[in-house]
């Protein structure tokens, strides 16, 4: 590597090495090209970066073209999980994605500024989670691709605005999702309405715009009602928790039930139900007494354990 590269270049290079998405790699390469000194000793490196940037742009265009074939729109999954934000117009979904990730969705005070899904990555502990902003939910059937996009996610964030009537927004959001046979896990609707084409999903409710007038009272009412809902409908294997700590000051989280992985058997089942049945034992790195320890399916996992399943 040429000598005398500035710290800005080294920081951008480190960001490139740790990037987990095509867009993050492109951003880091563009920053490296912007700050790198131009002299004879860097000509070859600059050419390499430009070639790699061109290849990444081609890859990004291919992914976009593939995701828009026919009438469908998809977002390739990246990171540890894909979490999709849904909500009414002007609920603040785009602002949350912009503040929590490097994504740049259009943010404006008027409704319907988001027309296509916009993904971004949020770091959580030592992993990254993909957040996807989506167009606002309406009863308009023109976005026929949106239900399938939502079904493909690992979890949903239901965003409501504390500047309006958050409970009314929540009820309308759930009604639209219910019309698509998409139900929060642990609810009565999930137990009675699941049939062909239906989906049961982990859900968190995000009460946004905490700095709005009357937001505190709206938040109190929202928490009271949602907590009552979760007490009635939660299953014994479920707990309540927020998604992370990097939440901007303009947002508060109201939790809804999501499944927790406690044992090796739970982990196997989260991958596929057949794997839960066929699994014979597992090996654990992390909380085990020694690396690669052989454990049974009822072994209780801890954060950051590495699990190797054997069938």
CB-CB contact of 134 with 114 (8 Å): yes
Q: Residue 126 CA to chain centroid, in angstroms?
A: 15
In a domain, 199, yes or no: yes
Note whether 100 and 246 are same-domain residues: yes
Note whether 110 and 206 are same-domain residues: yes
pLDDT for residue 225 = 56
Report the number of distinct structural domains present in the chain: 3
The per-residue pLDDT for range 109-152, each reduced to its tens digit, is 555 556 678 888 888 777 788 889 988 887 666 577 888 889 88
Note whether 178 and 294 are same-domain residues: no
Q: How confident is the model at residue 242 (pLDDT cuts 50, 70, 90)?
A: very low
In a domain, 72, yes or no: no
Note whether 175 and 119 are same-domain residues: yes
Taking residues 160-186, what's their average pLDDT?
A: 85
Note whether 170 and 98 are same-domain residues: yes
Q: How confident is the model at residue 294 (pLDDT cuts 50, 70, 90)?
A: very high
Note whether 210 and 270 are same-domain residues: no
* Mean predicted lDDT score pLDDT of the chain: 75
The per-residue pLDDT for range 67-98, each reduced to its tens digit, is 554 446 788 888 878 999 998 888 888 888 88
Kindly state the DSSP code that residue 110 receives in the 8-state scheme: S
- Measure the CA–CA gap between 250 and 207, rounded to whole angstroms: 9
Note whether 232 and 115 are same-domain residues: yes
- Measure the CA–CA gap between 36 and 240, rounded to whole angstroms: 48
Residue ranges making up the domain that contains 86: 82-259
Q: How confident is the model at residue 303 (pLDDT cuts 50, 70, 90)?
A: confident
Note whether 140 and 93 are same-domain residues: yes
Note whether 35 and 126 are same-domain residues: no
What is the percentage of the chain residues whose pLDDT exceeds 70? 72
In a domain, 75, yes or no: no
- Measure the CA–CA gap between 222 and 208, rounded to whole angstroms: 11
- Measure the CA–CA gap between 152 and 52, rounded to whole angstroms: 31
* Residues forming beta bridges with residue 307, ordered by sequence position: 284
In a domain, 77, yes or no: no
Give yes or no for residue 7 having a pLDDT over 70. Answer: yes
In a domain, 293, yes or no: yes
Note whether 124 and 200 are same-domain residues: yes
In a domain, 74, yes or no: no
In a domain, 176, yes or no: yes
Helices (H), the chain: 7-18, 22-35, 43-67, 93-100, 146-151, 166-179, 188-193, 215-233, 264-271, 273-278
Helix (H) or strand (E) holding 131: strand 127-133
In a domain, 236, yes or no: yes
CATH of the domain at 225: 3.40.50.300
Note whether 246 and 174 are same-domain residues: yes
Note whether 52 and 169 are same-domain residues: no
- Measure the CA–CA gap between 226 and 245, rounded to whole angstroms: 21
């Amino acid at each position: 590597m040429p000598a005398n590269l500035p710290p800005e270049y080294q920081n951008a290079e480190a960001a490139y090495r740790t990037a987990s998405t095509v867009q993050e790699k492109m951003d880091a390469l563009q920053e490296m090209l912007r700050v790198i000194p131009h002299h004879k000793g860097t000509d070859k490196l600059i050419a390499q970066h430009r070639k790699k940037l061109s290849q990444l742009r081609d890859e990004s265009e291919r992914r976009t073209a593939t995701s828009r074939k026919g009438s469908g729109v998809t977002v390739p999954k990246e990171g540890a999980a894909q979490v999709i934000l849904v909500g009414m117009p002007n609920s603040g979904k785009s602002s949350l994605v912009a503040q929590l990730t490097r994504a740049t969705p259009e943010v404006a005070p008027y409704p319907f500024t988001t027309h296509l899904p916009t993904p971004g990555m949020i770091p959580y502990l030592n992993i990254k989670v993909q957040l996807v902003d989506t167009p606002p939910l309406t009863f308009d059937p023109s976005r026929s691709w949106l239900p399938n996009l939502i079904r493909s996610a690992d979890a949903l964030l239901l965003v409501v605005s504390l500047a309006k009537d958050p409970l009314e927004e929540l009820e309308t959001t759930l009604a639209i999702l219910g019309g698509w046979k998409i139900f929060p896990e642990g609810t009565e609707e999930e137990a009675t309405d699941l049939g062909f084409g239906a989906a049961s999903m982990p859900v968190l409710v995000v009460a946004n715009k905490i700095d709005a007038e009357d937001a505190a009272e709206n938040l109190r009412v929202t928490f009271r009602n949602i907590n009552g809902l979760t007490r009635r409908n939660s299953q014994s294997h479920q707990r309540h928790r927020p998604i992370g700590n990097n939440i901007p000051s303009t947002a508060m989280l109201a939790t809804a039930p999501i499944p927790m992985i406690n044992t090796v058997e739970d982990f196997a089942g989260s991958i596929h139900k057949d794997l839960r049945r066929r699994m014979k034992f597992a090996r654990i790195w992390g909380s085990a007494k020694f690396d690669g320890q052989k454990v049974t399916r009822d072994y209780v996992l801890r954060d950051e354990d590495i699990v190797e399943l054997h069938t």
